[in-house]
Chains A and B, each alone.
Chain A
């Protein structure tokens, strides 16, 4: 694209982000402040993830972009088209063929491998934000490893509902130290963060924070002995591919209450259907 650098960002901005990423990897789960730049897409639409992707992407990389697990949702299409245009990289919808995967709200069902990098778009990187709105305060809480309030919040859920009523963006503890927001993935995906083969990078553009979970890192979802962490389950399999191990989206099929459940990961579903056929 004329007038812009490879992958849109100028080299100085990339270097600033790259230095931040190295610190993020060295301090797993800690939110590194970075000089987030405006991107030619609105804040909240993945600008943090895009800045990280732009900073790590090379001309030989194959890129996959998903939103809600799907390659064909409009924002995924738009971000993929952006990188095709500004970096000229090859793109794919196949999880296994991608070097870099940018995602919003899901971790692919197909297990990731070493050498792959998963880049998360993060809206609110601070897991304590809904308990304590002040950045000054939450920074101190992280510094002192003072996470009692988070447990109180979760326990209040239990007292009120009999359950921990957090279903997505479910907080985790990384390598036994930092309480971290896994981005708004469903808690169904939380176990995939633990001892992952792939490096996972998180970018929050508007909030100007980036953080990382290296491969082979302990990631525990916060819970209680008498209320252990559990993931969502469905009574029926995917209506298209029959999968019983994937996160299912509910699809309304008529106006009299008819509905079906299908995989949210379109690539996974497609591949399973092809295998069956």
Chain B
């Protein structure tokens, strides 16, 4: 098996979870996750591989977008975590995608309901670029003032995530991975794009 598991599943799994938690709590911040090597021909980097290892198990359903199985990923995930793979993303807890996966017509993911918004798919997004201070402006919980993020060519992804606000509390949360690098954009984040994708800021919040 060329895909390596954690050398210390308990401690490595905990350490990586804390990175993901920090990324989710402070959207747009970058976290180094060089923990676990992946095969050369893999389509995903160590950051997302470690995320799969730390979050998936027998109780988890995973959907892998076509093209991302390179290097025998699907068998490796089953071998290391025991998670179940599903044929359609709307039944998945996690969906491994690229921005291209989200180009129209995009597959349907679970977005939860107003009563149970947590019953939704978390996107694990494979990116070609990920850097702080880019053209996308993030505001909302976890962000003092505003934070910039560069995700490379990923308009379909960011348009999809920007649409989250209109349906809140339903929505999709995204964990972004590029090589060893990890960031997250939860559905609570308001996104303002460089050009077309205008964020939906239609919530007027009062305590009445």
- A and B directly contacting (CB within 8 A): yes
Confirm or deny: B30 has a beta carbon within 8 angstroms of a beta carbon on chain A: no
Contacts of A23 in B (CB 8 A): 118, 120, 122, 173
- A27 and B169 in contact (CB under 8 A), knowing A56-B18, A58-B11, A173-B207? yes
Q: Which of B54, B117, B143, B173 contacts A216 (CB 8 A)?
A: B143
CA distance A242 to B71 in the complex (A): 66
Known: A15-B54, A216-B143. A22 touches B188 (CB 8 A): no
Candidates A22, A57, A175, A222; contact of B141 at CB < 8 Å: A175
With contacts A177-B168, A214-B25 known, is A15 near B20, CB below 8 A?
no
Tell me the A10-26 residues at the B interface (CB within 8 Å). Answer: 11-12, 14-16, 18-26
Separation of A32 and B122 alpha carbons in the complex (Å): 15
Q: Are A176 and B14 in contact (CB under 8 A)?
A: no
| A216-B142, A216-B144, A217-B142 known; A12 vs B57 contact (CB < 8 Å) | yes
Chain B residues, CB < 8 A from A16 = 59
Nearest chain A residue, comparing its CB with the CB of B143:
A216
**Chain B residues near A59 (CB-CB < 8 A):** 11
Q: Is A268 an interface residue (CB 8 A)?
A: no
B141 touches A217 (CB 8 A): yes
Give chain A interface residues in 78-133, CB to chain B under 8 Å. 114-115
Residue of A nearest to B27 (CB): A214
B194 at interface (Cβ–Cβ under 8 A)?
Answer: no
Residues of B within 8 A of A214 (CB): 24-26, 141-142, 188
The A133-155 residues at the B interface (CB cut-off 8 A) are 139-140, 142-144, 147-148, 151
**A205 in the interface, Cβ–Cβ < 8 Å?**
no
Considering only CB atoms, which chain A residue lies closest to B58 in the complex?
Answer: A12
Main SS class of interface, A: mixed
Which B-chain residue is minimally distant from A28 (CB atoms)? Answer: B141
Whether B85 sits at the interface, judged by CB under 8 Å, is: no
Q: What chain B residues lie within 8 Å of A144 (beta carbons)?
A: 114
Known: A18-B17, A25-B24, A58-B14. Contact between A176 and B203, CB under 8 A? yes
Cross-chain contact A56 with B17 (CB below 8 angstroms): yes
B118 in contact with A215 (CB, 8 Å): no
- Residues in B with CB closer than 8 Å to A247 are none
B56 vs chain A, min Cβ distance (A): 8
Contact residues in B for A18 (Cβ distance below 8 Å): 17, 21, 54-55
Query: Are B186 and A26 in contact, CB atoms less than 8 angstroms apart?
Result: yes
Give the docked Cα–Cα distance between A24 and B14 (Å): 18
**B1 CB-CB contact with A under 8 Å:** no
Supplied contacts A15-B57, A21-B21, A27-B169, 17 more A-B pairs, CB within 8 Å? A11-B10, A22-B55, A22-B122, A23-B122, A23-B173, A25-B25, A26-B24, A33-B116, A140-B115, A143-B115, A147-B208, A173-B205, A173-B207, A176-B207, A214-B26, A215-B25, A217-B141
